[in-house]
Structure 1
């Protein structure tokens, strides 16, 4: 491991200047981090809720489930376009105002989806959500860093919000959708989005944009070969997960139909462990970015063997741990390697994730249709293993200029 990989968390805080140099750290960093995590949970929950109500949504709009699945793909595509460009569109706007504006956009999106009479209207609403999700992820780390001065806390909190959304939000939406209807589920998201926006408005102070924010910062970031290589590895490992994850229920049902709910909960528990482990490894990021895809690949490989329910349970737990380490460790990794251009570096990481979600779901679906779910998991494992090797080959050296 390089010396840079052993830099302590406090040293990272000193070498990574906040996006707003005149914003003093808050005396309540945990409350701020929780508010930011709440926004993440609401937005990510909104992004993936259609997966939990897909049959109901498709039936109500008189479309096939395959076409209804575009509700997730449209969000990811809009996010992939938004993440690298939004800072250039809003180079001087106070970041507090930006975050609150993005929450309002998510509110409009969920309201539009809740009343959508056709799939076309619904997809417009979902694209608005893609802008909100990508923008929020792009700016939140920098805002949290400026307000709290604690990068590991902010990154872990954001990933914790994602875990809560996927562990609680999607299964809950599925259960509620069967009882009260999918439109009512989106009505509940309207309430949750409003509450989260109000919490952010209360605890987040004014955070002026970084003086260098805009197209020039992104151009400089794109000139960093180590960062670009790291973004490619992020795409690979996220692709590996999303080529397999949409079909986890199919795989588990074929092994042990009676324990699917328990095993999905186990994946979620693994996710929580992975979030905490990613934060704990903030002082050893070179190890963290390699270990996360290794654990993910191991979990997926064991899943392909699926010899019995006990072994599959261990594989599912490892899968949850490995993948949920990835957002924390890679976000800290890109901010460490570009300490003076954190906003644009994180935007590149977000773009990598959104592209991977889109491509992974499409490729994974094609593999499942033409081969089987185990082949999709094997492909995911190979992608994750390549990403681990790639991260191991990239020196974690902060850019000096």
Structure 2
């Protein structure tokens, strides 16, 4: 008993509580670097596919294979490293992301490119699984701030990362975009190593915590809803550029920026409404379904812009809402609960990219959007039926 009390105190006193937001901002910069890397193919898909010699649908597997690795990594990384300092792990994962991007930028063929993307999936899922717990350890009592900051990192990646990748890809080449992502991951790793205090693992981290989380039926039902919503988005998002160009290509880059800017607004609004978690978790997927539907049927640039902005706004509410939802439903096993949320996202990204790519090649850019709208709406209904503990 005394050893358990000692372990608990060592976790609660991991370094001193943060007196500034710098550690959390540094964690958010890591999510920005890795999520930018994950979705770079969406910004350079046509040129990358042409250069490597595969179809656009097959090139979408560059996102799917990253998600496959992430789906396996998220629930198991804590089992492999149950006692390793979370600061050490987080910095190492950012370094792995840099190596992965470098491999892609130099890839001579599609097989090597996929290997690089596989390593990126390990880095991304591991980072996401540990970042929230590390953030709430160094900034105790403020989970909403930590979740909003990490999700804002995702929004920043989609607002700037993918559009910049499109600009760099069009101007210099898609390989240069991945080389730039390599540098960003290195910088994020160095910054995190400098400002994040030591974060020991929780005493029950690993298999005991995972078993407790998996045994929570309400949590697992919510994880299923997370998977539906994420599938709805990622059946469509790898092909967002093609969906835009179906209506007109003259404003492609700016509409990608608009998607991300809408996402930033959604991210901030989700944090503001986090107290009404059940409503937030249900409303975000419903709005996502509406945004996907409008984008699918748009026949003009103005209607397309409305659909794109609503899509970005709604989807970027989802990471904040669902991360807070799982941590509320399973407060004693947050690290494992978040890892299951990450797994749901990664499985959905894999399935979405594969199914969306098949629909894209067979029926055109509208059909992945329509499928995504149905899945997102189903996930929203599911969240509406699940109660959240006070």
TM-score normalized by the length of structure 1: 0.89
Structure 2 alignment gaps of length 5 or more:
1-7
Equivalence for 1:46? 37
| 1:375 corresponds to which of 364, 367, 376 | 367
| 1:139 corresponds to which of 113, 124, 130 | 130
Equivalence for 1:8? none
What is the count of residue pairs matched by the alignment? 381
Write out aligned runs for 1:136-285 (5 A).
Answer: 136-149=127-140, 150-285=142-277
CA separation in 1, counterparts of 2:219 and 2:260?
Answer: 30
Equivalence for 2:4? none
Instruction: Please provide the CA RMSD for this pair.
Output: 2.1
CA separation in 2, counterparts of 1:18 and 1:222?
Answer: 26
Equivalence for 2:345? 353
CA separation in 2, counterparts of 1:186 and 1:240?
Answer: 26
Change (3 A) 1:62 1:293: closer
1:33 aligns with 2:24: yes
| 1:82 corresponds to which of 73, 80, 100 | 73
CA separation in 1, counterparts of 2:213 and 2:122?
Answer: 21
CA separation in 1, counterparts of 2:50 and 2:240?
Answer: 23
CA separation in 2, counterparts of 1:151 and 1:264?
Answer: 30
Deviation at 1:55, TM superposition (A): 4.0
| 2:317 corresponds to which of 296, 317, 325 | 325
Q: Is this contact kept in 2: 1:35–1:196, CA < 8 A?
A: yes
Range 125-134 or range 45-54, more displaced: 45-54
Equivalence for 2:5? none
Equivalence for 1:123? 114
CA separation in 2, counterparts of 1:187 and 1:207?
Answer: 31
- Deviation by residue 1:255-292 (Cα, 9 ceiling, x = unmatched): 34433333332222210111001111221111110110
Structure 1 alignment gaps of length 5 or more:
1-16
CA separation in 2, counterparts of 1:58 and 1:302?
Answer: 27
Q: Is this contact kept in 2: 1:39–1:193, CA < 8 A?
A: yes
Secondary structure of the corresponding residue to residue 28 of structure 1:
coil
CA separation in 1, counterparts of 2:226 and 2:10?
Answer: 23
Q: Is this contact kept in 2: 1:19–1:143, CA < 8 A?
A: no
Range 303-312 or range 240-249, more displaced: 303-312
| 2:88 corresponds to which of 84, 97, 120 | 97
Change (3 A) 1:299 1:32: same
Equivalence for 2:61? 70
Range 303-312 or range 270-279, more displaced: 303-312
Write out aligned runs for 1:283-322 (5 A).
Answer: 283-306=275-298, 308-322=300-314
Range 312-321 or range 157-166, more displaced: 312-321
